[in-house]
Amino acid sequence: MAQSILIADDDIVALDGLRALLSAWGYEVCTAPDGLTALERAMSMSPAAVITDVVMPIMGGLELLVRLRVTQPTIPVIVITGQGDESMLVHAIRQGAYAYLSKPVDVRQLRALLQSALGRHRARSTEGASATG
């Protein structure tokens, strides 16, 4: 069974590009055009990882990150942006982002980060299951 990845980005070209790329890598991909829709989808599907843009309508990626940390703290979140600066990077990492990437995204770097994040997520899920079982 393919691992599910949720991608949130209001830029339809970027969203479609990431969807196609991750699908080609064998992931099951769900998308959202804004942070609020992404949060709702994350609650219903419990993705293995989330990739989110920072600047989006309704709810931005950093607010999505904060809300996911409360509701689903073990899901790794990779934050991407075309408008980032060092203070935004620091804020995202302090809020619990797994990683922070600038657009245009380096495909090899994204793949490596995603594989690492999913490995960490599997390990945390296994630890949680054995602690409660």
Q: What is the DSSP letter of 60?
A: -
Tell me the CATH class for 4-128: alpha beta
For the stretch 16-75, pLDDT in tens is: 999 999 999 999 999 999 999 999 999 999 999 999 999 999 999 999 999 999 999 999
Q: Where are the domains of the chain?
A: 4-128
pTM for the model stands at 0.89
Give the whole-angstrom CA distance, residue 124 versus residue 111. Answer: 20
What is the per-residue pLDDT across 13-26, written as a single tens digit (0 to 9) for each?
999 999 999 999 99
Cα-flanking dihedrals φ and ψ of residue 53, to 5°?
Answer: -75, 160
Contact 3, 25 (CB under 8 A): no
